Chain A
Amino acid sequence: MNTRSLRFRLVAWYASLLAGVFVLLGVLTVVVLRHYLETNLRETQMRRARQIADTLLVNAGQNGDGSIAPEIESFYAPEANDRFIRITRDNGSVLFASGKPKDGSFDPSAISRAPLTIQGALSRREKLPDGNVLLIAALNYRGKGGAYDIIEVGAPTAQIEAMLSQVSLLLVIGLPVVLIVAMGGGHRLVQRALAPVDQIARKAEQITQHNLSERLPIARTGDELERLSVSLNHMISRLEDAMQNSKRFVADASHELRTPLTVLRGELETVAQDGRLDTDTRETLGSMLEEVERLAKIVEGLFALSRLDAGEAQAEWVQFDLSELVATTADQMSLLAEDKGISVSCQAAQPAMVEGDRARLKQVIVNLLDNAIKYTPRGGVIRLQVVRQNGHAMLCVEDNGIGIPREALPHVFERFFRVDKARSRDEGGAGLGLSIVKSICTAHGAQVMVESSASGGSRFSITLPLAEHEPVKGKPE
């Protein structure tokens, strides 16, 4: 999973926000609930204490103290209801004290006495040594004779605690469930919202300089994504216009240059053939003709490139053996290498059938080999190799020549690029050979790679898809 993706980040944000809110809400619920329940319990105890005072103690004078205990037992049944009731006289004697509750949840004898000095009502929380907590309401009831009683009514908080822990448990279980549901839902939601982004990205990746006429899909949703895809499409059409303009410019320019070059060449040739010229003039004219020739080559190269860009390479598509073509071409050019004392080894024994424009692919081999010969010093070695691997034919041209500096490597296929301006001009190159190689390869769906170290040696490799049909054994043609 890509943690930097918009989808992941949105869902993560969404989920953590939700978790935060959920936790806060849970804590708040527990706190408020506890407060409410405890207040409620306290008030109930206090009310009961008053009731005892108002109904029983008022009549204590008439009925005698002895009647109180059975009345409390019959009205309130503290043991059966897990309650604690104690009435203490002002002299400290206990008038009534409830016994152990039936469920034995607390020990009433362990509950401390409320101080006799309290005036009015007082509520307290008492923690027993056995860990039970009771809320106890104490009330000072003053009788007619000036004597008073302290009435204490209490109940354990265990029920509240049990309820709160159940609520907490529910919240703790609920949190991950809610989170999972939220993340799942959020993921789907984000995915739906971002689906057009995926489509746009996929399409945008497919658009290269060769299919600039294609456009991105536009989701008619009226949202920001629609605006984005429309803007991107506008950008692509501007790019297309610019590309077309530049291609048309190259085609028109090379076309327009040809006519004056024809005239120049023709006139110079006519003059050069005049037998009365002296040697110097003849040399000058020859030099001019050479430059015209070079200009013509550049124009031709540019024109070839603009045609390849326009996708005209598929005119003569045939199936042929790349190994055989490489071997033949290497043989034809062997004298060029021999002339410089360079040895060429060609390992292309295994047939490799590919599909394409044979003449153009031959030009690729010629250009690469010519380059290798140019930039390998006397006594160097050039290795040509054709291998088949994974449904592809790979052609490698490797030399141990002067190499290409690292910073120049990404640019060697650019038009008119020269690693060393002085060096290659001496060799008469126009700086178009490798761009033509690249363009031809692109037109054939082939990949060109170059590796080199400045210390020496370059290696050009071309990977072409093999033709589907295997060759018939034996030599073609």
Chain B
Amino acid sequence: MRILIVEDEKKVADMIARGLKAEGYAVDVALDGQNGWDMANGCEYDLVILDLMLPKLSGREVLQRIRRKNQQVPILILTARDGTDEKVQNFEAGADDYLTKPFAFAELLVRVKALLRRAPVNRSIVLHVGDLEVDRSLQQVRRAGKKIELTAKEYALLEYLATHPGRVFSRTMIIEHVWDQSFEGLTNIVDVYVRHLRGKVDDPFPTKLIRTVRGMGYYLSEEVEA
């Protein structure tokens, strides 16, 4: 899998490249629009990550040129402006997804994987994390065989975390998935729900499954904490 990053901020480009390489992708970096277009034109990529504010050739222009030549390649837009109008225009111009700076790398990774359709979309009916069972068809949760009663939001939160045990979910990702953008930025709603969830899922049991990574988010794991 080969990914092209077109981003004029070298540090941002390097950071993304490093992270994606660590995930096992082959990554090329272009630091301006012209260079980005040349590379996208000359080489087959599986995904393009494109910043909108670029020197020499604007991100929008690069987006349109790539689309004229190749309808298939997924394009993920990075932007520092998230005006709704602009978002709509870029989707119309052929963008597949959109990420506003500053983003957590985890969010970028989720979107990249989704776009590459290589994301291990966990479609199993019953999710397992240790002795925790999340039954998606019945929307029921059991731990060590005991049924746990959860509210709809608590269930949605737990199910989301259980789709990828071990992966850290940022508060932004959780809010967007379980609630909606209106809750972003101001409330501590995620923390409150996680606390309640812990009270039901973890407190009665010796092994604590819901883990916090300070400053980053939450994840589920059965491994013993370091």
Residues of A within 8 A of B (CB): 251, 254-256, 258-259, 261-270, 272, 275, 282-283, 285-290, 292-293, 296-297, 300-301, 303, 307, 312, 315-316, 329, 332-333, 335-336, 339, 359-360, 362-363, 365-367, 370, 428-429, 433
Is B43 positioned at the interface, with any CB of A under 8 Å from its CB? no
Report the interface size class on chain B.
35 or more
User: Are B101 and A262 in contact (CB-based, < 8 A)?
Assistant: yes
Selected from A259, A266, A287, A370, the residue in CB contact (under 8 A) with B186 is A370
Q: Could you say which residues of chain A place their CB within 8 Å of the CB of B68?
A: none
Q: Could you say which residues of chain A place their CB within 8 Å of the CB of B12?
A: 259, 262-263, 266
Please measure, in the bound complex, the distance between the C-alpha atom of A307 and the C-alpha atom of B179, giving whole angstroms. Answer: 23
User: Are B215 and A285 in contact (CB-based, < 8 A)?
Assistant: yes
Among B160-194, those with CB < 8 Å from A are: 171, 179-189, 192-193
Closest A residue to B22 by beta carbon equals A270
User: Are A332 and B215 in contact (CB-based, < 8 A)?
Assistant: no
User: Are A266 and B182 in contact (CB-based, < 8 A)?
Assistant: no
Selected from A275, A296, A312, the residue in CB contact (under 8 A) with B102 is A296
User: Are A286 and B215 in contact (CB-based, < 8 A)?
Assistant: yes
Distance to closest chain B CB from A316 (angstroms): 7
Q: Could you say which residues of chain B place their CB within 8 Å of the CB of A261?
A: 101-102
Please measure, in the bound complex, the distance between the C-alpha atom of A282 and the C-alpha atom of B187, giving whole angstroms. Answer: 24
Please measure, in the bound complex, the distance between the C-alpha atom of A339 and the C-alpha atom of B102, giving whole angstroms. Answer: 30
Distance to closest chain A CB from B224 (angstroms): 13
Closest 6 CB pairs of A and B: A289-B215, A286-B214, A286-B215, A261-B102, A266-B15, A262-B102
Question: Known interface pairs A266-B19, A335-B153, A433-B186. Does A293 touch B88 (Cβ–Cβ under 8 Å)?
Answer: no
Q: Could you say which residues of chain A place their CB within 8 Å of the CB of B184?
A: 300
Closest B residue to A276 by beta carbon equals B226
Q: Could you say which residues of chain B place their CB within 8 Å of the CB of A263?
A: 9, 11-12, 15
Is B65 positioned at the interface, with any CB of A under 8 Å from its CB? no
Q: Could you say which residues of chain B place their CB within 8 Å of the CB of A283?
A: 214
Is B103 positioned at the interface, with any CB of A under 8 Å from its CB? yes
Distance to closest chain A CB from B164 (angstroms): 15
Q: A259-B101, A265-B103 are in contact. List 4 more A-B contacts (CB 8 A).
A: A266-B105, A267-B15, A272-B213, A329-B182
Task: Return 7 A-B CB contacts under 8 Å, by A number.
Answer: A255-B81, A266-B16, A266-B102, A289-B214, A290-B215, A332-B189, A339-B196
Please measure, in the bound complex, the distance between the C-alpha atom of A428 and the C-alpha atom of B188, giving whole angstroms. Answer: 9
Is B38 positioned at the interface, with any CB of A under 8 Å from its CB? no
Q: Could you say which residues of chain B place their CB within 8 Å of the CB of A367?
A: 186
User: Are A268 and B19 in contact (CB-based, < 8 A)?
Assistant: no
Please measure, in the bound complex, the distance between the C-alpha atom of A45 and the C-alpha atom of B127, giving whole angstroms. Answer: 138
Q: Could you say which residues of chain A place their CB within 8 Å of the CB of B72?
A: none
Distance to closest chain B CB from A6 (angstroms): 47
Question: Known interface pairs A272-B215, A286-B213. Does A332 touch B9 (Cβ–Cβ under 8 Å)?
Answer: no
Please measure, in the bound complex, the distance between the C-alpha atom of A393 and the C-alpha atom of B226, giving whole angstroms. Answer: 55
Is B85 positioned at the interface, with any CB of A under 8 Å from its CB? yes
Q: Could you say which residues of chain B place their CB within 8 Å of the CB of A262?
A: 9, 12, 15, 101-103
Is B80 positioned at the interface, with any CB of A under 8 Å from its CB? yes
User: Are A293 and B215 in contact (CB-based, < 8 A)?
Assistant: yes
